């Protein structure tokens, strides 16, 4: 329980970082404008994403999209909170992963409630090949998903009698 408080505090910090960076973007960069940070690799931009990752469902009607994403996000948050409460001491990695996912989900949920879409601003690219723009919340969700996958893969190795490694 005490460790969850530490991770919860970290999640709040991630959520605050997400919201502060988005507030800065909204206050300082016009929509669809930006500036290079590392020429040829990384820009700060101001874009909006009405869909999910990679523009998923961006073409759906706004009412359906809004209801869908709010429902899925709230369900995911409730599942994460339930798992954190019922799982007990499963180790650092799964708790860290779940708290990162939780912080990211809350950050993007706040955007959807405020704007009906998510504010993205991190643009990574090489030449003309751009990764879809993202934000701190997206980075937290992705990092948490990778950590959770590592934990689950480690568990499968241990169950099969393989080397559990140091994850």
Q: Of the residues 18, 120, 123, 163, which is catalytic?
A: 120
User: CA 122 → CA 8, 19, 21, 27, 51, distances in Å?
Assistant: 25, 14, 10, 16, 16
- Domain region containing 115: 2-53+62-159
Q: Distance between CA 28 and CA 22 in Å, rounded?
A: 10
Q: Is 18 known to be catalytic?
A: no
35 falls within a domain: yes
For the chain, 167 residues long, give each residue's pLDDT as a single digit of tens: 666 778 889 999 999 999 999 999 999 999 999 999 999 999 999 999 887 766 677 777 878 888 888 899 899 999 998 888 876 666 788 889 999 999 999 999 999 999 989 999 999 999 889 999 999 999 999 999 999 999 889 876 665 555 555 54
pLDDT tens for 108-129 read 999 999 998 999 999 999 988 9
pTM over 0.95? The answer is: no
151 falls within a domain: yes
Residues 103, 15 contacting (CB under 8 angstroms): yes
136 falls within a domain: yes
150 falls within a domain: yes
State the DSSP code for 53. Answer: G
pLDDT at 163: 53
167 falls within a domain: no
166 falls within a domain: no
- What tokens were used for 18? 């997400």
Domain count of the chain?
1
Whose tokens are 């997400």? That residue is 18
Burial status of residue 75 (CB atoms within 10 A of its CB: 0-12, 13-18, 19 or more): exposed
77 falls within a domain: yes
Q: Is 123 known to be catalytic?
A: no
22 falls within a domain: yes
């Amino acid at each position: 329980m005490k460790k969850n408080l530490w991770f919860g505090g970290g999640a709040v910090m991630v959520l605050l970082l997400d919201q502060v960076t988005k507030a800065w973007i909204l206050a300082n960069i016009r929509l669809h404008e930006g500036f290079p940070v590392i020429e040829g690799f990384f820009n700060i931009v101001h874009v909006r994403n009405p869909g999910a990752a990679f523009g998923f469902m961006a073409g759906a009607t706004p009412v359906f999209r809004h209801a869908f994403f709010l429902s899925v996000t709230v369900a995911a948050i409730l599942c994460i909170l339930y798992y954190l409460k019922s799982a007990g001491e499963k180790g650092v990695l799964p708790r860290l992963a779940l708290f990162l996912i939780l912080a990211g989900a809350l950050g993007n949920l706040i955007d959807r409630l405020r704007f009906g879409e998510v504010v993205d601003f991190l643009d990574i690219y090489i030449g003309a090949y751009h990764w879809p723009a993202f934000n701190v919340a997206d980075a937290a969700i992705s990092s948490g998903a990778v950590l959770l996958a590592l934990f689950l893969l480690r568990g499968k190795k241990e169950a099969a009698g393989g080397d559990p490694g140091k994850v």
